Amino acid sequence: MRPQVVFVTSEIYPFSKTGGLGDVLGALPLTLHRMGIRTAVVTPFYGRLGSAEFGVHLAWSDCHVGYPWDPVTADIFQANFHGMPVYFVHRSEYFDRRFYYNDHKGDYFDNAERFIFFSRAVMEFLKRLGPAPAILHAHDWQASLIPVYLNYWRQHDPFWQDTRSVMTIHNLAFQGRFSSRLFQGAALPPQAWSMDGVEFYGDFNFLKGGIACADKVSTVSPSYAKEILTDAFGCGLQGVLRARQHKLHGILNGADYSIWNPSSNRFLPCTYDADHLKGKRNCKLSLIKELDMDPALKNRPILGFIGRLRRQKGVDLLIDILPRLMQQDVGVVVLGEGNLEKEARLHAMMEDYPGRLTTIVGYTEDLAHRIQAGCDIFLMPSTYEPCGLTQMYALRFGTPPVATAVGGLRDTITPWPESGATGFIFNEQTPDAFHAAVTQAISVWKDEPKTWRDMVRRAMQQQFTWERSATEYIDLYRELGMQ
């Protein structure tokens, strides 16, 4: 039967993940599927799928990708992900690598070629699978050529005539911007090299092409949808977006509470909920042990940070205020990776505060859960944040966040001292403002235990369900004619 919506993405948890994109694609398509929308997902095969659980098997071999790869084919694997089909495009020289997009030296030199290949393989495979879906929903720059191919191909290929596209931007800073030389390798028609296509100041810009060609563009929070129209947050694409504001929507992500939930969680030493907070205390004691931290911290607040050690996540602000914070007799746990210099800096600082500052460099899914549960306060000083899932998880784990007033952070946290507060927000992106907000959180934790407990309970009761987000996406698909 005709799928109604096909998602095209470079990540889907639990098969692949480098951040929130993987989490979103692991939840949204499945939610739609459970709401009765015929949904499928297509994604690269990175060469290390846990295949046993979801019965990953070869579905099609030698799927032709077409010009300029005429003799080159892709194999398509299929998994049954809780009843929803997920298809994997397999071509080992492109996708079977240690990392997905880059290593410590930088982006892979052939990223344009890899994701042109992926996009063409997706289009050819879907044609073979037939009939065409009502909606092709592309995510981030890696899938941005999907709306571009669709836009030009449906003008003459009856197969694609009734398909419409949605382009979701999870992070405008990553655009897939390449030299104009590579345009030829995409085998797009010459008119795609224009203001209405992929050309951007003389470069080949995948995301710009996706924004220009998609029938609808969405991003992952209402606040970010407004911010990206401004010079400060538009990453150069503000003009392109402003001219297409009529088709731009902000739909807040959800949190997958079947995974990110302290009341049923296989990664935690003990579970808890808003009415039984004793388990949270035990998670804290156990985290102190696991990370070999100072036992005296059981009576002091522990502050947690999880995320890429990049400017976006405000790691510079964190490093700046750490010496001041440590004077306040707190513990700090940092889990992250992504920048050798920052990793080294944080490691060096650990020596100054033995047992009180712990940095774990790496990507460890289960530890992320234990840090969310075992900390008292969560730090998220992002310079921008399209949505942010980590703060939603922190809320559910009863770890009030201290966050910048940007994007999805603004849309998901009710700031102290408003009534109904669930966390702390600071406006000015300066170390002083961040430090003042953290200090405020520490003093409420220390001096007003009842107020703190009420805030923790309220935070845990927040509901950012995927059903709510999915309903908004369905409205969008229906506007595009999905039955």
Of positions 365, 428, 448, 472, contacts ligand ADP by CB under 6 A? 365
Give yes or no for a contact between 405 and 218, defined as CB atoms under 8 angstroms apart: no
Interaction of residue 401 with ligand ADP, rule CB under 6 A: no
Specify the residue, 279 or 388, whose C-beta has the smaller distance to ligand GLC.
388
Name the residue among 409, 404, 389 with its Cα closest to residue 317: 404
In the complex with ligand GLC, the residue whose CB is nearer, 49 or 220, is 220
Please state, in angstroms and rounded to a whole number, the distance separating the CA atoms of residues 441 and 437.
6
Please state at what angle helix 431-447 crosses helix 449-461, rounded to 10 degrees. Answer: 110
In 3-state terms the chain splits into helix, strand, coil percentages (rounded to 5) of 40, 20, 40
Binding flag, residue 23, ligand ADP (CB under 6 A) = yes
Report the alpha-carbon distance of residue 265 to residue 270 in Å, rounded: 8
Residue of minimal Cβ distance to ligand ADP? 20
Among 69, 218, 68, 206, which Cα is nearest to 145's?
A: 206
- Nearer to ligand GLC (CB atom), residue 56 or residue 387: 387
Buried b (16+ CB within 10 A) or exposed e, 442-466: bebbeeeeeebeebbebbbeeebeb
Contact 236, 206 (CB under 8 A): no
335 binds ligand ADP (CB under 6 A): yes
25 makes contact with ligand ADP (CB under 6 A): no
Which range in 18-26, 82-90, 144-152, 188-196 contacts ligand ADP by CB under 6 A?
A: 18-26
Name the residue number minimizing CB distance to ligand GLC. Answer: 20
Stretch that binds ligand ADP, among 56-64, 138-146, 207-215, 335-343 (CB under 6 A): 335-343
Could you list the residues that contact ligand GLC (CB under 6 A)?
A: 19-21, 24, 170-171, 220, 253, 385-389, 408
Please answer whether residues 35 and 26 qualify as being in contact, where contact means their C-beta atoms are separated by less than 8 angstroms: no
Least CB distance to ligand ADP at residue 389 (A): 4
Contact assessment for residue 255 and residue 392, using Cβ atoms and an 8 Å cutoff: yes
Q: If contact means CB under 5 to 8 A according to the sort of partner, which of ligand ADP, ligand GLC, none does residue 444 touch? A: none
At closest approach, how far in Å is the CB of 392 from ligand GLC?
Answer: 9
* Total residues binding ligand ADP (CB under 6 A): 18
Residues binding ligand ADP (CB under 6 A): 19-21, 23, 306-308, 335-337, 363-365, 368, 387-390
